[in-house]
């Protein structure tokens, strides 16, 4: 409790902590675990290195207690005063003032409910599924023993400026909290109208309150909502997996044509062989990707192509990316990394294209491109194979020797939730691409006629019976499900049944065409 001989002191020193003979990990002079660094302990820790954590830990404990019990926080000055007033007094020469030592038990026992309105929880942070809504419990607590508290809640949806339906609302916008009591408010989080998935949605509940007609105080409750992507349009499987695709290298270099180096461009950047792009180039057929068809693409040196974006880079440069949340309208990334096309080291290094004779397969090959950070690693060779059924296959002949595969992004994306990330910056060690591997993104969407309820490749009386059973008798759903939406209204209801009967027996219009999901995954 006394000042160490080497310690500072004075009126501005508020609190003290142990400054010598503190037991902690490290050094090994007390116990060394037979040379195991993870078991080193010392009894000689001291100085501000030991005293400061004692004070900081006490302050953090008080703040945590306040949040957990009253849903509010204390200022640093108030915490310091609590610890000073309840601490164990200094001994020795008190003229050399170092203040009391914190007594956490006494400090916590001295804290009472603040004379104000508080909320539990003091912030809301949750995740809900796309197309759903939930109600989160919010309790308002009045610590006054004598007066009611009147309140009004502003539910500010920070996404409202995007002209979407409000996702943040409260069940009771105004009311009162009786003295020494609590009032419940339901916070409604509605994800049915939200399409943006790449970042959390942020909102704010501002609760203005007072003990009379004038609401002159406020309480803020931040709200964070995440709506994860649930895209099932594609599934992904590696040749390492059971039932995965075969690795079968198709050499666009040997069978196709090279993209002329003179065609690469990068507005505003001098070195087009660093982060440049080229295109558009014909695919050779209409390639279905999610609910769009594309017949051409742009290719980037940094290991990706886009059907829509002319510059396959980030403001002329390479930048790490994650899926979802890409700044592209579409992207196929077999090996998005900082790459370089160095024809000086490898004369035929470049990007090659090949289209088969039946015009249902196109291959884009990055041949012996280099790592920008390790330019003499010129072995990196991989390819994209596009087929007319919408399948996408990535193949890796060589990922090089510089370890670039550990920070590469592998995946597909088209506008936020239309996306399927495979691995990004090595976030799954078992998925990092390697030599002689194939990764297949299997397409499960196709554009076709509805009305074939049974999945039998035709429309007949069995489809009508199946739809009736599904709608009225708890029978199985259509195969695929959207095949039952024969009027393309967006839902399956009695109008679809009437539409199908009219088509089959009264010469009515044919069932509509729409994007259908094959039900496999």
Residue 363 confidence (pLDDT): 98
Residue 207 confidence (pLDDT): 94
Whether residue 162 is predicted with pLDDT greater than 80 in this model: the reply is no
Evaluate whether 415 touches 403 at the Cβ level (below 8 Å).
no
Tell me the C-alpha distance between 437 and 397, whole Å: 7
Cis peptide bond N-terminal to 480, omega within 30: yes
SS3 of residue 146 by DSSP: coil
How do beta strands 124-127 and 217-226 pair?
parallel
Q: What angle do CA 144, 146, 147 make, to 5 degrees?
A: 75
Work out the mean pLDDT of the chain and round it to a whole number: 89
Whether residue 338 is predicted with pLDDT greater than 80 in this model: the reply is yes
Tell me the C-alpha distance between 423 and 283, whole Å: 26
Q: pLDDT: is 230 or 318 the higher one?
A: 318
Q: How many percent of the chain have pLDDT more than 90?
A: 52
Residue 165 — very low, low, confident or very high, per pLDDT cuts 50/70/90? low
Q: pLDDT: is 39 or 130 the higher one?
A: 39
Helix-helix angle 494-505:461-472, to 10 degrees: 160
Whether residue 163 is predicted with pLDDT greater than 50 in this model: the reply is no
CB atoms within 10 A of CB 371: 22
Q: pLDDT: is 44 or 464 the higher one?
A: 464
Phi, psi of 412, deg, nearest 5: -135, 155
Residue 333 confidence (pLDDT): 96
Residue 160 — very low, low, confident or very high, per pLDDT cuts 50/70/90? low
| Stretch 363-376: mean pLDDT | 92
Please write the tens of the pLDDT for every residue from 279-299. 999 999 999 999 899 999 999
How do beta strands 339-340 and 361-371 pair?
antiparallel
Q: Looking at 378-515, list the stretches that DSSP marks H as alpha helix, in order from N- to C-terminal side.
A: 461-472, 494-505
Q: Tell me how long the chain is.
A: 521
Residue 110 confidence (pLDDT): 85
Structural domains in the chain, CATH included, are 22-110 (no CATH), 117-226 (2.60.40.10), 234-443 (no CATH), 446-517 (1.10.1330.10)
Evaluate whether 289 touches 305 at the Cβ level (below 8 Å).
no
Q: pLDDT: is 342 or 247 the higher one?
A: 247
Please write the tens of the pLDDT for every residue from 498-512. 999 999 999 899 999
Residue 269 — very low, low, confident or very high, per pLDDT cuts 50/70/90? confident
Neighbouring residues of 317: CB distance < 8 A, sequence distance ≥ 6 = 269, 275
Residue 96 — very low, low, confident or very high, per pLDDT cuts 50/70/90? confident
Cis peptide bond N-terminal to 121, omega within 30: yes
């Amino acid at each position: 409790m006394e000042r160490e001989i080497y310690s500072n002191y004075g009126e501005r020193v508020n609190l003290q902590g142990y400054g010598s003979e503190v037991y902690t990990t490290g050094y090994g002079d007390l116990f060394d675990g037979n040379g195991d660094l993870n078991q080193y302990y010392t009894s000689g820790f001291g100085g501000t290195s030991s005293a400061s954590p004692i004070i900081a830990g006490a302050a953090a404990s008080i703040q945590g207690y306040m949040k957990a019990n009253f849903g509010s926080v204390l200022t640093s000055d108030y915490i310091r005063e609590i610890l000073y007033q309840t601490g164990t007094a200094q001994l020795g020469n008190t003229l050399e003032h170092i203040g009391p030592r914190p007594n956490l038990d006494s400090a916590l026992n001295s804290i009472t409910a603040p004379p104000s309105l508080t909320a539990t929880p003091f912030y809301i942070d949750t995740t809900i599924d796309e197309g759903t809504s939930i109600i989160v419990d919010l309790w308002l607590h009045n610590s006054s023993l004598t007066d009611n508290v009147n309140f009004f809640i502003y539910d500010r949806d920070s996404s409202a400026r995007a002209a979407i339906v409000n996702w943040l609302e409260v069940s009771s916008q105004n009311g009162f909290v009786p003295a020494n009591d609590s009032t419940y408010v339901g916070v409604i989080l509605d994800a049915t109208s939200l399409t943006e998935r790449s970042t959390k949605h942020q909102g704010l509940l501002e609760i203005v309150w007072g003990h009379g007609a004038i609401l002159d105080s406020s309480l803020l409750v931040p709200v964070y909502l995440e709506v994860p992507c649930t895209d099932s349009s594609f599934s992904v499987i590696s040749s390492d997996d059971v039932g995965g695709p075969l690795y079968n290298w198709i050499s666009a270099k040997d069978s196709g044509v090279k993209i002329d180096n003179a065609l690469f461009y990068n507005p505003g950047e001098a070195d087009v062989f660093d982060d440049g792009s080229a295109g558009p180039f014909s695919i050779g057929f209409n390639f279905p990707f999610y609910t769009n068809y594309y017949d051409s693409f742009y290719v980037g040196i940094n290991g990706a192509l886009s059907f829509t974006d002319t510059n396959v880079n980030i403001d002329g440069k390479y930048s790490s990316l994650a899926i979802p949340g890409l700044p592209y309208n579409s992207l196929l990334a077999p090996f998005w990394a900082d790459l370089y096309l160095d024809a000086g080291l490898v004369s035929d290094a470049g990007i090659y294209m090949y289209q088969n004779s039946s015009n249902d397969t196109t291959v884009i090959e990055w041949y012996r491109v280099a790592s920008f950070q390790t330019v003499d690693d010129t072995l990196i060779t991989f390819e994209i194979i596009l087929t007319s059924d919408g399948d996408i296959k990535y193949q890796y002949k060589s990922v090089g020797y510089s370890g670039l595969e550990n920070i590469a992004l592998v995946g597909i994306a088209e506008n936020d939730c239309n996306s399927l990330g495979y691995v990004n910056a090595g976030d799954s060690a078992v998925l990092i691409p390697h030599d002689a591997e194939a990764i297949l993104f299997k397409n499960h969407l196709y554009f076709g006629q509805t009305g074939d309820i049974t999945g039998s490749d035709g429309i007949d009386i069995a489809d009508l019976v199946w739809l009736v059973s599904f709608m009225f008798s708890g029978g199985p759903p259509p195969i695929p499900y959207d095949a039952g939406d024969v009027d393309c209204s967006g839902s399956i209801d009695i109008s679809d049944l009437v539409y199908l009967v009219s088509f089959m027996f009264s010469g009515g219009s044919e069932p509509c065409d729409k994007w259908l999901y094959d039900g496999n995954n």
